[in-house]
Amino acid sequence: MKTYLPNRFIVERDPARCIQCEVCVNQCSFDVNYRDADEDEVRSREENCVGCHRCVLFCPTRALNIRRTPLDYRENANWRPEIIEDIIRQAESGGILLTGMGTDKAHPIYWDRLVLNASQVTNPSIDPLREPMELRTYLGRKPDSLTVEPGSLALKTKLAPQVAIEVPILFSALSYGAVSINVHKSLARAATEMGTLFNTGEGGLHRKLYKYGANTICQVASGRFGVHPDYLNVGRILEIKIGQGAKPGIGGHLPGEKVSAEVAATRMIPKGTDALSPAPQHDIYSIEDLAQLISALKEATNYTKPVSVKIAAVHNAAAIASGIARAGADIIALDGIRGATGAAPKIIRDNVGIPIELAIAAVDTRLRQEGIRNQVSLIAAGGIRNSGDVIKAIALGADAVYIGTAALVALGCTVCQQCHTGKCAWGICTSDLRLTKRINPDIGAQRLVNLLRGWSLEIKEMLGGMGVNALESLRGNRLHLRGVGLTDTELEILGVKMAGA
């Protein structure tokens, strides 16, 4: 069938600069650049280009530029190019549109409508460079009160397991298989160096990475890939994955091509078979079933690890979160509609779920109304782009945040949304050994450490400006937030006042 799809990008090659070295040919994993044997010249099959910029940045003479194709349709606010092309694509394939990364639609980003406070006169700002500024956070269930013996000051209450993180930022679930071992290694090392945690995602943990167990969150998802006693015991926190922001309500599908020998061994499935994650966890059809799985995991690890439950932020997130807390979870991870994925149906990625900002506010408020906020730690995920987003999430009520996309961008990802193709030219979201070696775990870890370091310095500056020297004094402290350009209803849900009020 002849395709009616136009090219998306133009590959501009400056002949004056190009030295015909073929670096772009080697770097492009989408089969765009090639040497034309007849003409003995490097050329491009532009119809394949996804705009990932790998070739641009690796061309030694900077001879390349990638531009959007200037092809314009007749103006139409309704039938936009993307919509027309999606229809063409489906008409030619008859399938579900698959995509990668988080939604690219213009859902409101409430972070950009929230502004922070700073001290002036009535209390001093604190200088974080010279005075202590504490970001440490303990994740885990807290009792309502403590019992301390008078006189001896002996602590009589036994606390549930608590996990300290030195920066309130964790690396989100990225499963091995979806991403390469080198990405996992980079994340694990960076988490260890920064005193935080990375999340295995649902594909198990490679044996070689067990040594990073103290900084690992081991995920247990519907496919139960690689879940065995050693895996459960090696991590610091266990996380039951109910859903994820990019694709609430549906399962996953790691195509057999990505299931290499190592991936297969880690997931404990035969090499080359599809790894299918069912949509629900088939032992959880209700909240009491969740309680049963939580208890099973605690029992399997002798009550030494907090258990987290990750859900996609959906309409009833507040009520669901309350149920999860009551079911015995120690941590609730909320993933908003802007959360990313290795592969998801585009229609779901772009249309299902709610923005994380509203979800944090609603959940924190509800848990407080019910007097159970202290029973769980709250981790927010899905669209955290910078330290400003982090600090706003915490002021709204989160204990910490997960970052996924931001971490991948630190490793080189240019958010080209081709993760589902397995061809990631940056060597991140692929198991093609030729590509995965593009990530050097030493450099990768360094880039991630730098990112977290930069963000934590910024967080300290902002905290100091607010006159706060310990993160717990900002957590849920919505008085340090104001809204701009928001409706009364939005302000009410966020629990913040309008700027100027």
Residues that bind ligand SF4 (CB under 6 A): 11, 27-28, 30, 32-33, 49-55, 66, 100-101, 408, 413-419, 424-426, 428-429
Contact by Cβ (8 Å): 410, 443? no
- Residues 19 to 38: which contact another protein by CB under 8 A? none
Least distance to ligand SF4, CB of residue 305, Å:
30
* Tokens 């859903």, residue located: 243
Q: What's the residue count for the chain?
A: 501
Angle between helix 181-194 and 441-465 (nearest 10) = 40
Q: By three-state DSSP, how is residue 326 classified?
A: helix
Distance from the first to the final alpha carbon of the chain: 61
Our finding on whether 7 is near another protein (CB under 8 A) is no
Q: Which is nearer to another protein, 24 or 163 (CB)?
A: 163
Work out how close the CB of 151 gets to ligand SF4 at its nearest, in angstroms, rounded to a whole number. 59
Say how many CA atoms lie within 13 Å of 405 toward its Cβ: 24
Residues 465-494 that bind another protein (CB under 8 A): 466-470, 472-480
d(CA 248, CA 280): 10
Q: What is the DSSP letter of 499?
A: T
CB of 413 vs ligand SF4, minimal distance in Å: 3
480, interface contact from ligand SF4, another protein, none, CB < 5-8 Å by kind: another protein
Q: Which residue from 147, 286, 316, 351 is in contact with another protein, where contact means CB under 8 A?
A: 147
3-state SS track over 362-404: HHHHHHHHCCCHHHCEEEEECCCCCHHHHHHHHHHCCCEEEEC
- Interface with another protein, residue 304, by CB under 8 A: no
> Smallest gap, in angstroms, from Cβ of residue 475 to ligand SF4?
32
* Contacts of residue 207, Cβ cutoff 8 Å, sequence gap at least 6: 266
- CB nearer to another protein: give 298 or 460: 460
| Residue that has been written with the tokens 């996309």 in this structure | 405
500 scored as a contact of another protein (CB under 8 A): no
Which range in 169-177, 351-359, 366-374, 484-492 contacts another protein by CB under 8 A? 366-374
Within residues 369-388, the interface with another protein by CB under 8 A covers 371, 373-374
Shortest Å, Cβ 470 to another protein: 6
The stretch near another protein (CB under 8 A) out of 9-17, 46-54, 128-136, 239-247 is 128-136
Helix axis angle for 287-300 and 317-326, nearest 10°, is 40
Residues 42 and 454: their CA atoms lie apart, in Å, by 40
Nearest-angstrom CA–CA distance, 325 and 140 = 11
Q: Is 57 in the site for another protein (CB under 8 A)?
A: no
Which of ligand SF4, another protein, none is residue 100 near (CB under 5 to 8 Å by kind)? ligand SF4
Instruction: Point out which residues bind another protein (CB under 8 A).
Output: 119, 122-124, 126-127, 129-132, 134, 136, 138, 140, 142-143, 145-151, 153-155, 157, 159, 162, 368, 371, 373-374, 454, 457, 466-470, 472-480, 497, 501
